[in-house]
Amino acid sequence: MSLAISAIDYINGIKNGSITAEEFIAKTLDHIKKQEPKLHAFLSINEDAIEQARQIDKKIKSGQKVGAFYGMPISIKDNICIKGGKTTCASKMLQNYTSPYDATVVSNLKSQDAILIGKTNLDEFAMGVATEFSAFGPSRNPWNVDYVPGGSSGGSAVSVAGLESILSLGSDTGGSVRNPASFCSIVGLKPTYGLVSRYGLISYSNSIEQIGPMGRKVEDVALLLNHIAGKDPYDPTTLTSPTPDYLSGIDVGISGKKIGIIKEMSSGAGLDKTVESVFRNAMSAFEKLGAKIEEVSLDMVQYTVATYYVLTTAEAGSNLSRYDNLRYGYELDSEGYEFKSYISKARRNFGPEVTRRMILGGFVPSAGFAGKYLLKALKVKNKLKKQIQSAFTKFDYLISPTVPVLPFRFGEKIDDPLAMYLADINTVTANLTGVPAISIPYEIRNGLPVGVQIHANILQEKQLLQAGYALQNTTEIPEINL
């Protein structure tokens, strides 16, 4: 029994009796114990996992109805609430915070007999691209532990790539699912805004963020999406449209489809030569699959990084103002403080990146500056949306490298926020326009993974997964050496 099996193979193994949930979970926990000192994917581990697996095995044996995941281990980013457990957001501010309820995605998975194996590491409050901003130390890239795993859902990606979990849920505000998926050579999907409920996801930038599924195979991600997508009365931004079965017909291929290469994301000085060369290989693979490829320009893309950071810091400044240490927080006696100085003191528990973004977030919408920053950013967002909609009248898919650079070493970009922010240039467009996008692992070059990104139009996840599946079958990723 290998821990490297796909979700689909796991389910088949359970059904034909060749594996039991208990065996698989026990082996997974054993592997986690061995790998964690090196990888640090998790902030907490589910202590009841074995017992939960036994219960599921019992149900299977006695012929009772069993949920779709059959005791499969799924890891959850530590900004998504699981009742009774800690949800730290990798921040000292929430170190002792216990979730009072389950996120909707979590109740969905529980009701389908998934085993939530642990909570994964992230950049503090999901702000970063390397997990270097976690207050509890970074996660390490399982392909080469000297390199960052990407972020902010870095722990989720590491847990899946490092065989510590079959699937994972991350959250994607500007690429936080797709970036670590690309850096760790797994599949990561940012769904259409409103497809997946955000109830129980700790807010960073509500107007664009989404919870997204991550796995080693496109079909695994489709399976996970099947069980988290749909309307939720607790999140009024969720869409009412019916959700299809994302798994059926995933292998129909993309012959005759039209693909646009987004010029601003796929060329230029910021694009690493290795990434470019891998992307070219993916382009020829698409052509061999029978797709027609053409370049397309979305000129607003050059302003998206600035737009993204203006909008998200403004929302973060407002969202994070709730951490005043009265409702959440740590032991800090209020004796001797007046109200304002107490809160200022309490907020020293935010790490440097969160503090910077709060200051920026106070700045960009403030009187006298809103016209220069916030309102302009909103207008760029509007124009970008029109440009991408117009591109989708001509193309079925829009593609680019997921990240313009290769995974980098720890410390390489941490002192230069701008260099770090620019790594987001290819991923933020999907968030700003609400369209779905997926990162497909394509090659390992000199031991470092490179991913390819595909966008589809609003609510076209089914078609998006079909394209991802077709592309996945044109490449073979070598086995990971752990």
Partner 1 sequence: MVTKEEIQNIAKLMRIDIENTDEYFERVQKVLSYFDILDKADIEGEEIPVQEISIENLREDQYAPFNDKLIQQLKNYKGIYIRAPKMN
Which positions touch partner 1 (CB under 8 A)?
98, 100, 207, 233-234, 236-237, 240, 300, 302-303, 306-307, 309-310, 317, 321, 325-334, 337-345, 347-348, 352, 355-356, 358-364, 366, 372-373, 375-383, 385, 417-418, 421
In the complex, the smallest distance separating the C-beta of residue 65 from partner 1, rounded to whole angstroms, is 28
Find the shortest distance in angstroms from Cβ 263 to partner 1. 17
Tokens of 209: 């963020």
The residue among 100 and 290 lying less far from partner 1, judged by its C-beta, is 100
| Residue 58: both structure tokens together | 């019992």
Task: Indicate the burial class of 2 (C-beta count within 10 angstroms; 0-12, 13-18, 19 or more).
Answer: exposed
By the 10 Å C-beta count (0-12 exposed, 13-18 middle, 19+ buried), 177 is classed as buried
Q: Phi/psi of residue 133, each to 5°?
A: -95, 10
Least distance to partner 1 from the beta carbon of 42, Å?
24
Sign of CA dihedral 29, 169, 243, 393: negative
Residue 234 Rama label (left phi>0; alpha psi -120 to 50; beta): alpha
Q: What is the distance between the alpha carbons of residues 128 and 355, in angstroms, rounded to a whole number?
A: 13
Joined together, the tokens standing for residue 321 give 């103002």
Closer by beta carbon to partner 1, 9 or else 324? 324
- Cross-strand partners of 454: 399, 438
Q: Which is nearer to partner 1, 182 or 457 (CB)?
A: 457
Please, which residues have CB within 8 angstroms of residue 46's CB and are 6 or more apart in sequence?
Answer: 52, 85, 115, 116, 117, 118
- Output the smallest distance, CB 434 to partner 1, in A: 10
Element (H, E) at 215: strand 210-215
Question: How far is residue 402's CA from residue 425's CA, in Å, rounded to a whole number?
Answer: 9
C-beta closer to partner 1: residue 185 or 387:
387
Three-state SS at 279:
helix
What is the residue-wise DSSP string for 121-142? P-SGGG--SSSTT-TT-----T
Helix axis angle for 218-226 and 461-472, nearest 10°, is 160
Q: Choose between 255 and 302: whose C-beta lies nearer to partner 1.
A: 302
CB of 195 vs partner 1, minimal distance in Å = 15
Catalytic residues: 77, 152, 176
What's the closest the beta carbon of residue 44 comes to partner 1, in angstroms? Answer: 18
- Element (DSSP H or E) covering residue 453: strand 448-455
From the list 98, 396, 74, 64, the residue with the least C-alpha distance to 255 is 396
Whichever of 248 and 341 has its CB closer to partner 1, that residue is 341
Contacts of 107 (CB under 8 A, 6+ apart): none
Q: CB neighbours of 428 closer than 8 A, spacing ≥ 6? A: 174, 175, 304, 305, 307, 308
> Toward partner 1, which CB reaches closer, 76 or 364?
364
Smaller CB distance to partner 1: residue 3 or 300? Answer: 300
Q: How far is CA 452 from the centre of its chain?
A: 15
CB of 413 to partner 1, least distance (A): 13
| φ, ψ of residue 335 in degrees (nearest 5) | -55, 130
Burial code (b: 16+ CB inside 10 Å, e: under 16) for 372-404 equals ebbebbeebbeebbebbeebbeebbbbbbbbbb
Gap between the Cα atoms of 360 and 260, Å rounded? 35
Q: How far is the CB of 198 from partner 1 (least distance, A)?
A: 13
From the CB of 28, what's the least distance to partner 1, in Å?
30
β-bridge partners, 210: 172
248 versus 321: smaller Cβ distance to partner 1: 321
Cα 388 from Cα 181, distance rounded (Å): 24
